Amino acid sequence: MSDRGRRFGILGGTLDPIHCGHLAAAVAARDALDLSQVLVLPSGVPPHRHQPLASPFQRFAMAALAVTGVDRFLASDDELRSEGPSYTADTLERQHGRGICASQIFFVTGADAFADIETWMRYPAVLDLANFVVVARPGYAVSALPTRLPALANRMRPAGASVNEEGAAPVIYLLDAPTPDVSSTKVRSRLARGESISGLVPPLVETYINQHALYRSLHGQN
């Protein structure tokens, strides 16, 4: 099948571990923007934080388990196979090299992370490499972003609005969808205390974490 006319979502991040908040944001983006496929990419070397506690293989395995049975989702090791820090701009340009244009790519991120977009590598040029889908997170309303980032306000639009045609300049879609109040830090902390993480991560991910006794120590926590 040709990629022409298809819309590709990308959900990146350390994913240490992937949790239900990640999936809820990506599913909301898939449904709101009718994405043909959503790639879930664990980062290789996070540029702004300490090294992940789980290995690259383990984080990819958890991502693959998390998307099992989720329609139009696929785990990718694209960033894990690339050398050096995992920068969003580099990831997006690799997609361009595969013949996927910027208007076909929808990079999914939380409102909390996007609020710091001005600190990202190659800002503001990175915003020309894909559409960005910014999903509300508990305590971070997308309605506050035009005021927080006034220089980008004219590029923002509600995710319910019509999607730009292929070849059009990328925009920033604001998606006000409910997502669980969970973070990877919360998951790791609960595990280190010997507490249950049921409902915070997909069931297959919970089973994998327990089988491999991951995150039982907070040494090196990021």
Strand order in the sheet with 172-175: 73-75, 37-42, 8-13, 105-110, 131-135, 172-175, 156-158
For residue 115, the Cα-to-chain-centroid distance in whole angstroms is 14
Q: What is the CATH number of the domain that holds 108?
A: 3.40.50.620
Domain with 45 in it:
8-180
The answer to the question of residue 164 being in a domain is yes
The answer to the question of residue 94 being in a domain is yes
Task: Name the pTM for this structure.
Answer: 0.93
When divided into structural domains, the chain yields a total of 1
The answer to the question of residue 215 being in a domain is no
Task: Please report which confidence band the pLDDT of residue 82 belongs to, taking 50, 70 and 90 as the band edges.
Answer: confident
The answer to the question of residue 196 being in a domain is no
Q: What is the pLDDT of residues 149-168, one digit of tens each?
A: 999 999 999 997 667 777 78
Q: What is the pLDDT of residues 89-146, one digit of tens each?
A: 999 999 999 999 999 999 999 999 999 999 999 999 999 999 999 999 999 999 999 9
3-class state of residue 37 by DSSP: strand
